[in-house]
Structure 1
């Protein structure tokens, strides 16, 4: 339906609206929509209401930078295996003749673009725009994974022992001894620390996320169950049910964490354990700066990333001979193959299994409250 001051204006508006609906696939037509037009509709209408803002931003970036420029001008009904090969070539080979030149990207990036496009075309099938997903007839890019650079347990212990700020000392211990994700550590709340079967445990229920492209809570799907903290910061549940897990703490770590909570003096209304001096949440940039200082302090290069601590933790657990079930539970993976294939780095130390736990592998020194600086603030 369209309105106008005159019948002619109303008819023109109706015609324009019809053409727009046909262009984006909302209305049947003799031709299928261009891929670029379908992707716009797919992002804004179909996946936006159900995705986390960070995931949506990743999808949008992939669509705009990789898929549209490569094959966006092809109609959905005309997509063939050759178009998927063209997209892979566009991504992995780059182009020196462009202004500015387009740098080649990794096979992992090509694989990510292929998976995003596959999802979009699956939804096109569900919407009745095409009968089958053309990417099912094409071969997915062969992804060559590079092993992440990680600290050995001994190096991790050196980093922890050399840290003189009590908050970061705890952060590094949680990262290496429990394998907690960065967002889970930054978003740790007092209510998540519970006594279960006479053991102090962390019941992972939240992770801290900063959504720079979100204007307010209304832009976040209600099904996500996000809790606004301040500014662009939100507490959100883990992505999967496996992410909601119980992690028992080593006794010395539990004692140190309890001592920190009682003596820190930093209060906030969001129940967060770790905050800045003014009570506002930490963020990735603040932790990265502290992380690089910690690496430099023990003479290690600063090209390790905080997430690598999770890999070290998984590797240490494998060296200890922990069962797949236990490691899967602690790491929060729904499939042990992820723990084994991505996070566990097998080395010569696996030949002699340790028996005294990750804490012993890290060779940690007892925390000295007189050495740890409670007054230090994140820089």
Structure 2
């Protein structure tokens, strides 16, 4: 079988692995990056999981892990690795991701004619309890987008305006924080000049989302007072020194506001996206339309919000019904 044509990046650091396995692991990650277009965070997690697995196997076998040795993995070896990770109090979701990454690497080796790692497919994925996202109440979500709520903070007014605009965009259009901060100034219409945005989501996939006029007005208010140049091809949201705005800044802003507004710890920037979906659904929004707005590849991902809405309905029932 012909090898997949992949450019050769710098070799990975994989203690306990032989040179041939390091070379194939490096090519595998390059393939995931260039062909599968996985996100940097997923690639980082897969690299970490593979490094931990190989370090464990190196100690488990007391020998370097070569391609031949890795292909001869037995189910007991994988179970021992998973048990070791469990002992470190790693959750089921992280274990499931680690197993998915190792299976992906095994399939890559098989396609490249390096042997079949049958043990990986024989292991059942760990059970993961379903946890529903925790949306923010409508009143709280609106207050997060109010610049006047930040007036007591020891920061410049243009930063208050910027943070309010970002929060309003996350809630008003259901964007991921990376999507909001990835917007260029040319991507955002002026108030009254448009009502949609083209955003780039996971896997560099683009989609069109609606944007409210009051959100565009908040963004324009921020642009008008921002002391840094905002060229059309540059990011519309910038940090204190004029560079791209870090997601961590918005996360810290949310942490400060939680206390001031009496919001729970679950109130994060991403919770605004959950709130967007939940509030649309509770007001009659169609699940398929919400899937498109959120940029979910699968409808099953969006269906989790029906669970949230059911919880809300049952709470209403229990508190309002005379016989409850």
The TM-score with structure 1 as length reference comes to 0.64
In the other structure, the counterpart of 1:85 is 79
Deviation of residue 352 (structure 1)? 11
In the other structure, the counterpart of 2:49 is 62
Report the 3-state secondary structure (helix = DSSP H, G, I; strand = E; otherwise coil) of the residue aligned with 1:240.
Answer: helix
Deviation of residue 349 (structure 1)? 4.0
1:305-335 CA-partner distances (Å, limit 9, x unpaired): 3222221211112112211221111101111
Matched, 1:327 2:290: yes
In the other structure, the counterpart of 1:279 is 242
Q: How many angstroms apart in 2 are the aligned matches of 1:77 and 1:258? A: 57
In the other structure, the counterpart of 2:154 is none
For structure 1, the 5+ residue unaligned runs are 1-34, 95-102, 206-237, 354-379
Relative distance call for 1:156 and 1:53 in structure 2 (3 A) is closer
The TM-score with structure 2 as length reference comes to 0.74
1:300 aligns with one of 244, 263, 267 = 263
Matched, 1:127 2:109: no
Relative distance call for 1:142 and 1:69 in structure 2 (3 A) is farther
In the other structure, the counterpart of 2:23 is 41
Whether the aligned pair in 1 keeps the contact of 2:170 and 2:272 (CA below 8 Å) is yes
Whether the aligned pair in 2 keeps the contact of 1:81 and 1:137 (CA below 8 Å) is yes
In the other structure, the counterpart of 2:321 is none
Task: Give aligned pairs, total.
Answer: 276
In the other structure, the counterpart of 1:215 is none
For structure 2, the 5+ residue unaligned runs are 1-15, 34-38, 152-159, 317-324
1:317 aligns with one of 269, 275, 280 = 280
Q: How many angstroms apart in 2 are the aligned matches of 1:342 and 1:124? A: 38
Relative distance call for 1:311 and 1:343 in structure 2 (3 A) is farther
In the other structure, the counterpart of 2:206 is 244
Which structure carries more helix by proportion?
A: 2
Max Rg structure: 1
In the other structure, the counterpart of 1:235 is none
Deviates more, 1:37-46 or 1:119-128: 37-46
2:94 aligns with one of 109, 122, 139 = 109
Relative distance call for 1:113 and 1:83 in structure 2 (3 A) is same
1:253 aligns with one of 215, 220, 228 = 215
Relative distance call for 1:298 and 1:110 in structure 2 (3 A) is same
Q: How many angstroms apart in 2 are the aligned matches of 1:53 and 1:240? A: 10
Query: After superposition, where does 1:10-25 map in structure 2 within 5 Å?
Result: none
Whether the aligned pair in 1 keeps the contact of 2:137 and 2:275 (CA below 8 Å) is yes
Whether the aligned pair in 2 keeps the contact of 1:80 and 1:138 (CA below 8 Å) is no
1:237-260 CA-partner distances (Å, limit 9, x unpaired): x3336x411111122222332343
Deviation of residue 157 (structure 1)? 2.3
1:264-320 CA-partner distances (Å, limit 9, x unpaired): 343145521111243111102222221111112112244533222221211112112
Query: After superposition, where does 1:262-273 map in structure 2 within 5 Å?
Result: 262-269=224-231, 270-273=233-236
Deviation of residue 56 (structure 1)? 2.9
In the other structure, the counterpart of 2:163 is 168
In the other structure, the counterpart of 2:319 is none
In the other structure, the counterpart of 2:4 is none
Q: How many angstroms apart in 2 are the aligned matches of 1:265 and 1:300? A: 31
In the other structure, the counterpart of 2:304 is 341
Relative distance call for 1:104 and 1:254 in structure 2 (3 A) is same
Report the 3-state secondary structure (helix = DSSP H, G, I; strand = E; otherwise coil) of the residue aligned with 2:197.
Answer: strand
Matched, 1:180 2:175: yes
